[in-house]
Amino acid sequence: MDYALIWAILISVAVFAYVALDGFDLGIALLFPWFKKEEDRDVMMNTVAPVWDGNETWLVLGGGGLLAVFPLAYSVLMPALYMPVIAMLLGLIFRGVAFEYRFKTKRAKGVWDLSFIVGSLVAALSQGIMLGAMLQGIEVTDRAYSGGWFDWLTPFSFFCGVAVVIGYMMLGATWLVMKTKGDLQRQSYRAGWYSAILLVACIAFVSLYLPYVDSYIAERWFTYPASVGLWVLPVLLVVITLGLLRSLQKRQEGRPYLWGLGLFLLSFAGFAVSIFPYLVPRSITLWQAAAPENSLKFLLVGAVVLLPIIFAYTGYTYWVFRGKVDPNSGYHD
């Protein structure tokens, strides 16, 4: 049994779960500048108030799992990405503090609104920059990071950061479509439409740019006939994009968010296909980075027990707080 591959899949599931769940509440903060009314912002925050902190469980699981299961990859990636990792954590802290303090104040609500926006922007931008830095490659010598302090910051990595910000805004808008009504919902439909178009444009650019500058990725995607099966992903991208735009145009409520998750899932699959079997692109494979097999087996026992529990309480939370949010009541009331 290939325990390293199993763990790579489990960590991928954790990371995608984080993006799918924490993405929309980061996106709601990023949409704040376009929703000026205080009552609208109150409702927006109340749509995620019962679930936002639990969503970050998956970030802890993904990061902690990487350290425990793939220690070599962790020891290379962390020095390469220290700055964006620290920025992301500080942004999440500011976002969390602002989330709670905003409900406790009247005079300083604007200050905490700004903190909510800036913290979420820094966190989302940092996540995208880390993604771009991994895609463009990390310099490794003798199984250790050998690049500079700011190698992670390039025009491409910053573009990826902006793309993730736009993607989270799309998830936030489609979440609001599902959870709100009235004028707030109508504005969310518009925000979802425009952010979806921008996100697809970003995905298309990255999909064309990377094979042009990286021969490994070009070979993976364009070597006939080995790559023929991979072309189902671009076809699905077109189908899901049309489904998302059509659902927003027809004013459907639940489907836009699901279509939006489909866009992220396809992007995630494209990222995995482009770098596999490497955890540190073009340098360290997942088997080279893996901990001893006995450690992988031991940790897998805990994962088999804990993951169903996490899925169960997460699903139960969303089930309890399903449906539309009442503008006249709040989670903190």
For residue 315, the model assigns a pLDDT of 86
List residues bridging with 141 in a β-sheet.
144
The candidate with the shortest Cα–Cα distance to 28, out of 120, 128, 127, is 120
The candidate with the shortest Cα–Cα distance to 84, out of 45, 42, 138, is 138
Q: How many domains does the chain have?
A: 1
CB neighbour list of residue 89: distance below 8 Å, 6 or more residues apart: none
Low-confidence ranges of the chain (pLDDT < 50): none
Residue 90: inside a domain, yes or no?
yes
Joined together, the tokens standing for residue 306 give 């804990």
For residue 234, the model assigns a pLDDT of 85
DSSP 3-state of 103: coil
For residue 194, the model assigns a pLDDT of 93
For residue 41, the model assigns a pLDDT of 84
CB 43 within 8 A of CB 325: yes
Residue 273: inside a domain, yes or no?
yes
Residue 231: inside a domain, yes or no?
yes
Residue 327: inside a domain, yes or no?
no
Strands 140-141 and 144-145: antiparallel
For residue 329, the model assigns a pLDDT of 64
For residue 211, the model assigns a pLDDT of 83
**Three-state secondary structure along 198-254?**
HHHHHHHHHHHHHHHHCHHHHHHHHCCCCCHHHHHHHHHHHHHHHHHHHHHHCCCCC
Residue 112: inside a domain, yes or no?
yes
What is the C-alpha end-to-end distance of the chain, expressed in Å?
52
The answer, as to whether pTM is greater than 0.95, is: no
Residue 281: inside a domain, yes or no?
yes
For residue 113, the model assigns a pLDDT of 85
pLDDT digit string, tens, across residues 259-317: 999 999 998 888 888 888 888 888 888 898 888 888 888 889 888 898 888 889 888 88
DSSP 3-state of 279: strand
For residue 157, the model assigns a pLDDT of 92
Cα(283)–Cα(279) distance, integer angstroms: 8
Q: Look-up: residue for tokens 């808008």? A: 173
Domain region containing 214: 3-320
CB 91 within 8 A of CB 126: yes
CB neighbour list of residue 323: distance below 8 Å, 6 or more residues apart: 179
For residue 86, the model assigns a pLDDT of 92
Helices 182-213, 255-275: crossing angle, 10 deg rounding:
20
For residue 332, the model assigns a pLDDT of 53
For residue 226, the model assigns a pLDDT of 64
Joined together, the tokens standing for residue 77 give 């990636």
Residue 146: inside a domain, yes or no?
yes
| Alpha-carbon 116 to chain mean position | 18
For residue 20, the model assigns a pLDDT of 86
The candidate with the shortest Cα–Cα distance to 209, out of 197, 219, 217, is 217
Residue 325: inside a domain, yes or no?
no
